[in-house]
Chain A
Amino acid sequence: MMFDPGVILKHLPEIISGTGVTLALWIAGMVLGMFIGFVVATLRRYGGVMVDIPLGLVVEVLRGTPFLIQIFLVYYGGPFVGISLDPIPCGLLGLSIYAAAYYSEIFRAGYGAVPHGHVEAAECLGFSRLQVIRRILLPEMALIVLPPSVNLSVILLKESAVLSIITVPELTTTVSAIGSQEYAFLEAIFLLAVIYWVIVEAAARLGRFAESRFSTYRFSTP
């Protein structure tokens, strides 16, 4: 047995398409997750105990169980309750819900970290609740939630590899299929690791750059 990455590289178009699916799922999952997570955090803050406790329980369950089990539940359990999804939409749904649980906790912490005086000042000036959220809480929170969000985004990118188990045609699925087809599984997995590594490093660097770039706008806490 020889280690020969060349056999894999002739499948470059497939690898690029797999990378595309991974990146698309990642970004879509991140955006959807962030949106749902923000809505959940806002509902939990303003909706009263009757909303806060059930949502909190859902978040805890999502955070306390493996992503793989959640995916299996949606993918194999869905058809039994009338939700038959193809692998890609199923993967996107699973990834977004998983992401939303973690993002909601980040936003909850973000809400808590904005100085109360700022909110009170806005209320004194006659801001409505929606205005307070949009004009005061969101902009101030954006800087606080940036570092944990970058962290979570990198975790999500890596979790998306799990979607290969339900045959979503993303990077892991594509490259390991090429590996078995060419009898070069080790080379394929090695290449796979390198591709993920490069994307993760790039994403992490971009995140760190954004953090240092925007840190000048940070308000000072009393």
Chain B
Amino acid sequence: MSFKLFNLLVQASVWTIGISAISIGLGFLIALGLSAALLSGKAFYRRPAQFFISFFRGVPLLVQLLLIYNLLPFIGLNVPSIVAAIIGMSLCTAAYQAENLRGGFKSVPRGLIEAADMVGFTPSQLFLRIKVPIALRLTFPALVNEAIMILKSSSLVSVVGIVEITRMAQDLASSTYMPIEIFSSAALIYLVICWSVALAGRYGERALPGVAK
């Protein structure tokens, strides 16, 4: 296999990484809202959040992507397929991240919350200054795991026509008749990306301050 073909796969990985990164970021913001709703005492907020999470964790990502890809034009939104892909991936990862964050928020030590309350923090200050940073620190390893899952799942956006690593590999494999070389190279690129994220995660975890239980 020539260097040129391998290079095309590496170039396509920009899309894989880009889509995954945007989806993780957007998904995180949605997940913050969802986890707040999950922990809310009011069923009015909690129930829809539970429904959302159950749906997006219960349906294969491939089906979600097909659903969103076909649903958006149906409700009159003609957006490029990349937007549909990012929406699909963000909603999916949001459901998983929300469950992680919920666990993180629940494990914020009570003493810290009481202490902040004592020194006169308002509820929003308490949330932003105490709960969010500590929950983030506690769920950091889960976030890294989720990022790796999303990187791998992003191969599915190839079905809605986005030329990321997998789609590029498919196109190259059918035009060169070298599927073994092409798909192995694609696998290698995924491995390098996933291992880099895992390594960065482990480094980050050591660099971050610990939380006293």
Contacts and interface: CB of A to CB of B under 8 A. Distances in A.
Interface of A: 1, 3, 61, 64-70, 72-73, 76-77, 80-81, 158-162, 164-165, 172, 176, 185-186, 189-190, 192-193, 196-197, 200-201, 204
A3 B75 CA distance: 11
Contacts, number: 107
A61 B191 contact: yes
A199 B124 CA distance: 40
Nearest to A72: B183
A158 B74 contact: no
B125 interface: no
A3 B67 CA distance: 13
Of the candidates A70, A72, A81, the one having the most CB atoms from chain B within 10 angstroms of its own CB is A72
B179 A65 contact: no
A201 B51 CA distance: 12
Interface string B52-80: 00110111111110110011001000000
A64 B156 contact: no
Interface of B: 54-55, 57-64, 66-67, 70-71, 74, 148, 152-156, 158-159, 166, 169-170, 173, 179-180, 183-184, 186-187, 190-191, 194-195
17 contacts: A64-B194, A65-B152, A66-B156, A72-B169, A76-B173, A77-B179, A77-B183, A81-B180, A160-B60, A162-B62, A176-B66, A186-B71, A186-B74, A189-B67, A190-B67, A196-B63, A197-B55
B118 to A, nearest CB: 37
A196 B179 contact: no
Nearest to B192: A64
Nearest to A66: B155
Contacts of B154: 66
B153 A66 contact: yes
A178 B66 CA distance: 14
B62 A161 contact: yes
A103 B3 CA distance: 36
Nearest to A201: B58
Contact of B155 (A3, A69, A81, A197): A69
Given A64-B194, A67-B155, 6 more contacts: A67-B152, A69-B169, A77-B183, A162-B62, A186-B74, A196-B58
Contacts of B60: 158-162, 172, 196
Contacts of A160: 60
Nearest to A62: B187
Nearest to A158: B60
B190 A73 contact: no
